[in-house]
């Protein structure tokens, strides 16, 4: 039978659909900010910070220019610098380790647990040295790392934990505690594709520590407490009022959107299982550490690159996050890592495939995706 490309496209995500749903509310927020003349920081940002702290369960939230800058500010607050080491998973978005390197500190990579794709806490002890300055677990794809075990080890060595919760806002541990509230700092990203997305770049830093919060707040505006008097060398890490207003409005919908993501994840797993693809060809994601918020729905698949091309030809927006672990990136070559150092991460990089998932995804679109998977493996 000749293969005809599927006619119903399934985009990797549909940000315009989300905007259309909230169009009138969002436009009136935009107009209100534009009329106010207050465009950077100010009352809209304070309102967002209060709402975020309440949602995430921390004392403080600081609105920032991006998730990357949240990581940077967290480490600058702790005075991470030359000679310091910061432990990070090798299987993550570049920003987790790039920020360490930008502060002239050394990223020390750690392998992952194959079932959750998160930092293998069992390997931490062996990576900790007298130079270790912090540990950055990442809650990849929207599922918490094993925070209980990690916090115990960190406490044993008196080491601060900075959570990279960029993909995991709303993820919860078994006790209900939310991503970003476990460590000394939690870092959030509101890049448009994240579960809570701005209309541009934005991020936030979470903490329960009053003093660190005050330092971070100064670092956000070039280290100044009083205008033109500088206690530290900071940067411009400010968030725009427009983004804050949009995010405060969208945050009210986040729980509903998260439940819709979770329902779609369950449905994918049911459809894929019913199609007889598990476990021979495809392994669905596992929800092991509390409530997964499915920033991505990630399969492990056979013949990944071939399948990715097959889906692309059928206009199905599947993605690979991430094709090359950080210890093998060219820019980190002088750190001296080599292929084979972190076998679980390297294997994941070759096998993972994310299917389109977003609150607006329809049953029919999910069926189209799973039919395409079945067609590929039946050939
Ligand atoms: C998106 C992301 C970041 C960076 O956030 P930006 O807002 O894009 O700077 C950091 N870490 C992880 C794991 C991410 O997914």
Residue 202 lies in a domain: yes
Per-residue pLDDT at 95: 98
Per-residue pLDDT at 8: 76
Question: Can you tell me the distance from the alpha carbon of 60 to that of 73, in angstroms, rounded to the nearest whole number?
Answer: 14
46 and 106 both lie in a single domain: yes
Residue 6 clears pLDDT 90, i.e. is over it = no
End of a domain among 194, 218, 251? Answer: 251
User: Distance, CA 94 to ligand 1 centroid (Å)?
Assistant: 8
364 and 222 both lie in a single domain: no
312 and 185 both lie in a single domain: no
Domains: count for the chain = 2
Q: What is the CATH number of the domain that holds 140?
A: 3.40.640.10
152 and 88 both lie in a single domain: yes
- The alpha carbon of 233 is separated from its chain's Cα centroid by a whole number of angstroms, namely 27
Q: What does the pLDDT look like over 195-213, one tens digit per residue?
A: 999 999 999 999 999 999 9
Per-residue H/E/C for 170-190:
CCECCCCCECCCCCCEEEEEC
Average pLDDT over every residue of 66-90: 98
Residue 377 clears pLDDT 70, i.e. is over it = yes
Q: What does the pLDDT look like over 215-256, one tens digit per residue?
A: 999 999 999 988 899 999 999 999 999 999 999 999 999 999
Strand partners, 236: 221
Radius of gyration (Cα) for the chain, nearest Å? 21
Sheet holding 282-283, edge to edge: 282-283, 297-301, 352-355
189 and 76 both lie in a single domain: yes
Question: Can you tell me the distance from the alpha carbon of 268 to that of 270, in angstroms, rounded to the nearest whole number?
Answer: 5
Whose alpha carbon is nearest atom 2 of ligand 1? 166
Average pLDDT over every residue of 48-71: 98
Q: What does the pLDDT look like over 277-307, one tens digit per residue?
A: 999 999 999 999 999 999 999 999 999 999 9
User: Distance, CA 188 to ligand 1 centroid (Å)?
Assistant: 8
What b/e readout covers 333-370, taking b as 16+ CB neighbours within 10 angstroms? eeeebeeeebebbbebbebbbbbbbbbbbeeebbebbb
The pLDDT-based confidence of 5 (bands split at 50, 70, 90) is: low
Tell me which residue of 223, 212, 146 sits closest to 184, measured CA to CA: 212
78 and 211 both lie in a single domain: yes
Determine how many CB atoms are found less than 10 A away from the CB of residue 330: 6
Residue 274 lies in a domain: yes
245 and 262 both lie in a single domain: no
Question: Can you tell me the distance from the alpha carbon of 306 to that of 59, in angstroms, rounded to the nearest whole number?
Answer: 48
189 lines ligand 1 (CB under 6 A): yes
Residue 4 lies in a domain: no
Domain range enclosing 332: 254-377
102 and 60 both lie in a single domain: yes
Residue 231 lies in a domain: yes
Residue 212 lies in a domain: yes
The pLDDT-based confidence of 1 (bands split at 50, 70, 90) is: very low
Average pLDDT over every residue of 341-358: 98
Residue 4 clears pLDDT 80, i.e. is over it = no
118 lines ligand 1 (CB under 6 A): no
Q: What is the CATH number of the domain that holds 361?
A: 3.90.1150.10
203 and 282 both lie in a single domain: no
The answer to whether the CB of 238 falls within 8 A of the CB of 65 is yes
Mutate to test the pocket of ligand 1, among 142, 143, 189, 190 (most ligand atoms within 8 A of CB): 189
191 lines ligand 1 (CB under 6 A): yes
117 lines ligand 1 (CB under 6 A): no
Mean pLDDT score across all residues of the chain: 96
Q: What does the pLDDT look like over 32-51, one tens digit per residue?
A: 999 999 999 999 999 999 99
Which stretches of 41-174 are DSSP H helices?
A: 43-56, 67-77, 95-102, 124-127, 147-156
Question: Can you tell me the distance from the alpha carbon of 205 to that of 185, in angstroms, rounded to the nearest whole number?
Answer: 7
pTM: 0.97
127 and 70 both lie in a single domain: yes
90 and 195 both lie in a single domain: yes
Residue 364 clears pLDDT 80, i.e. is over it = yes
Residue 2 clears pLDDT 60, i.e. is over it = no
**Alpha-carbon distances, residue 201 vs 198, 242, 254, 346 (angstroms):** 7, 11, 18, 30
Average pLDDT over every residue of 313-331: 97
Residue 101 lies in a domain: yes
Residue 1 lies in a domain: no
């Amino acid at each position: 039978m000749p293969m005809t490309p599927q006619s119903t496209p399934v985009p990797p995500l549909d940000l315009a659909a989300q905007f259309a749903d909230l169009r009138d509310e969002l436009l009136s927020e935009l107009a209100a900010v534009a009329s106010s003349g207050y465009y950077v920081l100010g009352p809209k940002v304070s309102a967002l910070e209060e709402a975020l702290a309440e949602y995430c369960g921390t004392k403080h939230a600081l609105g920032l220019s991006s998730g990357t800058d949240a990581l940077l500010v967290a480490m600058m607050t702790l005075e991470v610098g030359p000679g310091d080491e910061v432990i990070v998973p090798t299987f993550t978005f570049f920003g987790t380790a790039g920020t360490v390197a930008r502060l002239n500190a050394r990223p020390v990579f750690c392998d992952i647990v194959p079932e959750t794709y998160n930092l293998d806490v069992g390997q931490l002890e062996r990576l900790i040295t007298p130079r270790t300055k912090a540990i950055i677990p990442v809650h990849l794809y929207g599922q918490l790392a094993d925070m209980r075990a990690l916090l115990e080890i960190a406490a044993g060595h008196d080491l601060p934990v900075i959570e990279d919760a960029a993909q995991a806002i709303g993820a919860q541990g078994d006790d209900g505690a939310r991503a970003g509230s476990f460590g000394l700092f939690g870092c959030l990203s509101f890049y448009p594709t994240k579960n809570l997305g701005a209309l541009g770049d934005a991020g936030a830093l979470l903490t329960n520590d009053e003093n660190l919060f005050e330092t971070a707040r100064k670092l956000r505006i070039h280290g100044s407490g009083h205008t033109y008097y500088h206690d530290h060398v900071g940067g411009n890490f400010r968030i725009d009022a427009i983004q804050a207003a949009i995010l405060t409005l969208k945050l009210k919908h986040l729980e509903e959107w998260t439940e819709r993501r979770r329902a779609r994840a369950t449905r994918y797993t049911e459809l894929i299982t019913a199609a007889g693809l598990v476990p021979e060809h495809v392994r669905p994601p596992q929800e092991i550490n509390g409530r997964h918020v499915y920033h991505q729905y990630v399969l492990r698949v056979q013949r990944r690159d071939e399948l990715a091309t097959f889906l692309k030809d059928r206009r199905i927006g599947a993605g690979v996050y991430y094709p090359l672990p950080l210890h093998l990136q060219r820019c980190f070559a002088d750190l001296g890592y080599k292929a084979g150092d972190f076998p679980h991460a390297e294997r994941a990089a070759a096998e993972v495939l994310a299917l389109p998932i977003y609150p607006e995804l329809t049953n029919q679109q999910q069926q189209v995706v799973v039919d395409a998977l079945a067609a590929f493996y039946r050939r």
